[in-house]
Amino acid sequence: MSDNQKVRFIIERQDSPDSKPYTEEFDVDYRPGLNVVAALMEIQQNPVTVDGKKVAPVVWECNCLEKVCGACMMVINGKARQACCALIDELKQPIRLAPARTFPVVRDLMVDRSVMFESLKKIQGWVEIDGSFDSVDAPRQNPYTAQVAYEISHCMTCGCCLEACPNVGPQSDFIGPAPTVQAYLFNLHPIGKYDAPKRLEALMQKGGITSCGNSQNCVEVCPKSIKLTTYLAQLNRDVNKQALRNIFNV
Amino acid sequence: MNTAFYLRRLHSLAGLVCLGAVLFEHIFTNSMALGGAKALDGALAMMELIPPLIFLALEIGAIGVPLLFHGIYGIYIALEANNNPGRFGYTRNWCFALQRWTAWFLVFFLIWHIGYLRIFEKGMNGTHISYDLLQSLFVGSPITACLYVLGMFAAIFHFCNGITTFCMTWGITKGPRSQKVVSVLSMLLCAGLCLVTLAFMSSYFLMV
């Protein structure tokens, strides 16, 4: 690679939540190991388009830079993924960046993903530990399900699966794969399992697991390789059993 | 009340059980055309052995009501989707989109098919459905024959892909391997039923 090689970025920008999107192109000096977040930092330092126009720096979110926090999720060359681990060497150029429009856009590549937090509240994505009961001797995790729990706990609510899912969006009230599968994580927990019926009931409501259409895009795009479809099928089993318990009142 | 849950599961059952049975009955009876006019008319006469009142009750209860429910609730489901196989071109996502596209085609095809043959010809005109009627319908208008073949293909795919998703929705197939096995088997069934359809539809043209 020559030293003065440039990488072309075509970025979909938007000045405010309600304004119209437009695209701008930027060139960034190539260097080995360059990733999309690092390239965006270069653009931030010198926000000049290929036409030589000085513009406002591109806004995006990032935090951990090691695929753990989920903040830098955006649409890179049409696919929802983490910008911090999107290596320039592995991307087709010009590189197209766009916000994940399944969420409301705040500005440029920054989106408001708080809908996932609201969904986690709906499915009771926590373990109830406040109460009059004794919690000194914490119950042990089941060693047979601990592996699965560990896997699902990797979920960083980045929203890749919601962006890829055809059933998530303004046309539907589906809460999406990530929050749905979190219900299974907390149902596996030795204390959390006491609230399993509550979580399953929440998943049986409108916008719950019944809105899943089995497109299986979620498992394809999950950056943490969580076997989302497997746990969705398990939850389907669980809600069916819950429905039988409800019908026969047991 | 978890209305959403029960409606969705009922939609799944109505499609696989009732409409699946209707589809198989259609393919079975129509494949008799391969044996010529006598065989098909014989199969139709067999159906008429069912007492008319029971036959009508079956038509309404086991076909009409499940079909209307599956169709209307299905439109609601289809409108919930923003098909994106262009962006995410995975096999299952194509099947997901095809499931909805075939559904839209079937809505119009079935209104035409049932409206014309069952309600207009058989119901209002009292026409006796026979090999000769179908042959003159298809050979007289190859476009009609083509639309019928497409309608059958759409229904067969929709049903076979429906087996795969039924198994996921009911938690029968959980892991990727069992889901793959069911999906391959149901696509083989799809190919087989499509071939049978092509065979009996072309027989009308070959046995003029």
- Residue A173 belongs to a domain with what CATH number? 1.10.1060.10
pLDDT mean across residues, chain B:
95
- Cα B67–Cα B72–Cα B75 angle in degrees, nearest 5: 120
Q: Same domain, yes or no, for A119 and A80?
A: no
User: How many domains are there within chain A?
Assistant: 2
Query: Quick one: CA dihedral A78, A79, A85, A88, positive or negative?
Result: negative
**Which pLDDT belongs to residue B64?**
96
3-class SS of residue B158: helix
> Which of A89, A111, A133 is the last residue in one of the domains?
A111
CA-to-CA separations, A46 to A21, A55, B70, B92, B195, in angstroms, rounded: 21, 9, 57, 43, 62
The interface predicted TM-score of the complex, written ipTM, equals 0.92
Residue B176 belongs to domain spanning: 3-206
* Nearest of B58, B157, B57, B65 to residue B105 by alpha carbon: B157
At A128, is the pLDDT very low, low, confident or very high (cuts 50, 70, 90)?
A: confident
Cβ-Cβ contacts under 8 Å between A and B: the total is: 110
Interface of A with B (CB under 8 A): 78-79, 164, 166-167, 169, 171-172, 174, 201, 204-208, 210-217, 219-221, 227, 229-230, 232-240, 243, 246
**Model confidence pLDDT, tens digit, residues B62-73:** 999 999 999 999
Average pLDDT on A70-77 reads: 96
**Is pLDDT of A1 > 60?**
no
Q: Same domain, yes or no, for A217 and A232?
A: yes
Q: What is the 8-class DSSP label of residue A87?
A: B
Q: Same domain, yes or no, for A45 and A154?
A: no
Q: Same domain, yes or no, for A174 and A155?
A: yes
**Which pLDDT belongs to residue A171?**
93
Query: Å from B76 to nearest chain A CA?
Result: 10
**Model confidence pLDDT, tens digit, residues A158-169:** 999 999 999 999
**Model confidence pLDDT, tens digit, residues B90-141:** 999 999 999 999 999 999 999 999 999 998 888 898 888 999 999 999 999 9
The residues, ordered by sequence, that sit 6+ positions from A206 with a Cβ below 8 Å of its Cβ are A173, B3, B4
B93 backbone φψ class: left, alpha, beta (φ>0; ψ -120 to 50): alpha
Q: Same domain, yes or no, for A121 and A244?
A: yes
B193: CATH: 1.20.1300.10
> From the CB of residue A19, how many other CB atoms can be counted at a distance below 10 Å?
11
Q: Same domain, yes or no, for A87 and A119?
A: no
**Which pLDDT belongs to residue A141?**
86
| Tokens describing residue A59 | 């806004």
Q: Pick the residue from chain A with its C-alpha nearest to B81.
A: A167
Interface touch B2/A204, C-beta < 8 Å? yes
Is A1 inside any structural domain?
no
**Model confidence pLDDT, tens digit, residues B132-155:** 999 999 999 999 999 999 999 999
**Is pLDDT of A133 > 80?**
no
> From the CB of residue A212, how many other CB atoms can be counted at a distance below 10 Å?
28
Interface touch B96/A172, C-beta < 8 Å? no
Query: Å from A138 to nearest chain B CA?
Result: 31
Q: Pick the residue from chain A with its C-alpha nearest to B169.
A: A236
Residues of A in contact with B93 (CB under 8 A): 166, 215-217, 220
Residues of B in contact with A236 (CB under 8 A): 168-171
User: How many domains are there within chain B?
Assistant: 1
**Model confidence pLDDT, tens digit, residues A46-63:** 999 999 999 999 999 999
Is A186 inside any structural domain?
yes
Residue A28 belongs to domain spanning: 6-111
Q: Same domain, yes or no, for A27 and A142?
A: no
